[in-house]
Amino acid sequence: MQTHAIPRYPDAGWYDALERGAKPALGEALTLVEAGGAEGRALLDRLHPLGGRAQIIGVTGPPGSGKSTLVNELALHYAVAGRRVAVVAVDPSSPFTGGAVLGDRVRMARASGNERVFIRSASSRGRLGGVARSTFDFVRVFDAVGYDPVIVETVGIGQSEVDIWRIAHTPIVVEAPGLGDAVQAMKAGVLEIASIFCVNKADQAGADAKAAQLAELSDRASAHTPGWTIPVLRTVAHEGTGIVALAEAIARHGDYLHATGRFKALERARAIAEIRTGLEALFVDAPMTRAHRDGILDRLADEVAMRARGPASAAQEIESRYLAGRATSAQTP
Amino acid sequence: MQTHAIPRYPDAGWYDALERGAKPALGEALTLVEAGGAEGRALLDRLHPLGGRAQIIGVTGPPGSGKSTLVNELALHYAVAGRRVAVVAVDPSSPFTGGAVLGDRVRMARASGNERVFIRSASSRGRLGGVARSTFDFVRVFDAVGYDPVIVETVGIGQSEVDIWRIAHTPIVVEAPGLGDAVQAMKAGVLEIASIFCVNKADQAGADAKAAQLAELSDRASAHTPGWTIPVLRTVAHEGTGIVALAEAIARHGDYLHATGRFKALERARAIAEIRTGLEALFVDAPMTRAHRDGILDRLADEVAMRARGPASAAQEIESRYLAGRATSAQTP
């Protein structure tokens, strides 16, 4: 399932190509970052000073809302306008195959054929928060190398989606007529931080009712966003109808974020998540990986599972084996 | 939203009550564990030797499948049979309120009135993987104090749900006629590790088609579970129809897990997740909390957001301030 090789010895030419946003180097960089190792972290550090410019657009909606088609059309809209646009499609990965499901990529064939559009699926690396972390890291890479906007497409139901949702500057909820109470499942945590509501398939029966329902939610949710009234837009994505108005609302929302300082506040929240990730990489991922390689983790897991010892005691053994001396070496005067 | 106070000085009497599974102490224990501090971790350690017995049943399904009603009836079935049963309802928490949504608890009023049933919502503690961690910890507590089975109800779409799903001994996918392609969104990672399929609302039109669809999936997925053919059951949960057959299939699956050693393999996987959590608590949660209290995190977040330094460098400052000496103190000879 690996579609990009990891460059074994990235050289100056490779970094130059990457920083220009060249697609082959970019694909390799994402793979490197997704692998979660020291090289990927070093790359993110190197790219960090270049980032902080892209508008991150979250697009979420229940299955059947047509959000992939909408993302496809929106990406094309930006590409045609001369902007380079990235799409991160968030799919739960399969525990069986370890790989991401490619469905979304297939559905987005139209945009992916465009040279200004880069589409990538984010998969879990098989641990808690894995898909959210991959998504965060991908967004950092795209942002740093000049892709703007970065569109993150999620299913919109579930805790990881809420985590991902929180990094979006401009979160858009897509609904469609006739989806029943799917919206109910999204209400908690997702609807409440939307900045734009969109009724897709607006040519179908029931669109007015859906728009009225969202308008009511907008009235309530807008109370939390002083200076911004959440618009309820209508699109027919497969015909391209309403895409320009949607892009216009996204641009207005970007202006609002910058004017009110909210853009900066969101960058700070992302920074805290990234600092946390840095600690996890050093003190959790690295020793767990080493303990696994040495067979220590297997033994500890057996002991814990057999109730011969507790997980805290097992964690202490990993600490003393792999982390002793680590922290003091960085001690400040 | 806090419904249980945290006991300030848990004494021997409190521990006795908890280990007997007494409801007030149990509610307090869950709150303590959910808070994620040192006291909660110490409590989990103390309870650890008592656990490893309960069958963990995962129930997932799209909105509208009636899975909450099904869980309600299943819990009552066990309670009437004299067993103590726990339900962990996994809801994404609202980023606005910081609290869990109580909808599921309200819907499960019937079971929650029973003295042998304990229902609790798992919420995120506002960080990556938060809801999954709360769920894992709740299951550990219920298991240790004699609740068996422990039923975990999730929405079934999203990465956290896949994470949670992986700890279930007996994962059940609930579907219902007329839900369209909601099942499509669940396929990746959720359907593939189901042990039982259930068509709820089986008295409605389209039940046969849904059952046929699931039977086809069962044929494919059963290839991954040698010795276990995934049954496709039919229920009408709000009438209680099919609940006994479902409980019987759950019991058969439990026997299968024990006979094949799969139960132990799942316990090992849980043990690894718990060891990881132990490291995170010491090396990530604790220093991040301290850095936040001291105002250091705010400054670092600003510097990272302004691109004055990278997140890795900020993580190193936290390391040197709060972790220096920590690892060596536990050094083994």
DSSP characters over B266-298: HHHHHHHHHHHHHHHIIIIIHHHHHHHHTTHHH
Helical (H) or strand (E) element with A280:
helix A262-280
Distance CA B231, CA B222 (A): 9
Helical (H) or strand (E) element with B117:
strand B117-122
Quick check: B60 and B174 in contact, CB under 8 A? yes
Region class of A7: left (phi > 0), else alpha (psi between -120 and 50), else beta: beta
pLDDT tier for residue B317 given thresholds of 50, 70 and 90? very high
A157·B327 Cβ contact <8 A = no
Distance CA A134, CA A120 (A): 11
Question: B80 vs chain A: nearest CA distance in angstroms?
Answer: 30
Q: Provide the CB-side half-sphere exposure for B45 (13 A, CA).
A: 18
Quick check: A268 and B302 in contact, CB under 8 A? yes
A161·B92 Cβ contact <8 A = yes
DSSP 8-state symbol, A94: P
Question: A156 vs chain B: nearest CA distance in angstroms?
Answer: 8
- Strand, helix or coil for residue A81: coil
- B-facing residues of A in 1-40 (CB < 8 A) are none
B321·A307 Cβ contact <8 A = no
- pTM of the predicted model as reported, rounded to 2 decimal places: 0.72
The pairing of beta strand B85-90 with beta strand B150-154: parallel
Provide the residue-wise pLDDT of chain A in tens; the chain has 333 residues. 344 555 555 788 899 999 988 999 999 999 898 887 778 888 998 999 999 999 999 998 877 788 888 999 999 999 999 999 999 987 543 333 233 334 444 445 566 678 899 988 876 554 444 667 788 889 999 999 999 999 998 765 555 566 677 778 999 988 899 775 555 555 555 666 789 999 999 999 999 999 998 898 888 878 778 889 999 999 999 899 999 999 999 999 999 999 999 999 889 988 998 898 889 888 998 899 899 999 999 999 999 999 999 888 899 999 999 988 665 443 333
Q: Quick one: closest CA in B to A64, which residue?
A: B181
Distance CA B218, CA A110 (A): 34
What's the ipTM? 0.78
- What is the separation of C-alpha B18 from the centre of its chain, rounded to a whole number of angstroms? 20
- Say if residue A216 is exposed, middle or buried (CB neighbours under 10 Å; 0-12, 13-18, 19+): exposed
A324·B324 Cβ contact <8 A = no
> What is the amino acid identity at position B21?
G
Tokens found for residue A227? 């200076």
Residues near B138 by beta carbon (within 8 Å), at least 6 away in sequence: B30, B33, B34, B86, B88, B120, B122
**CB-nearest partner of A325 from B133, B302, B327:** B327
- B-facing residues of A in 240-269 (CB < 8 A) are 264, 267-269
Strands (E), chain A: 56-60, 85-90, 117-122, 150-154, 170-175, 196-199, 232-234
Distance CA B320, CA A328 (A): 7
Q: Quick one: closest CA in A to B98, which residue?
A: A189
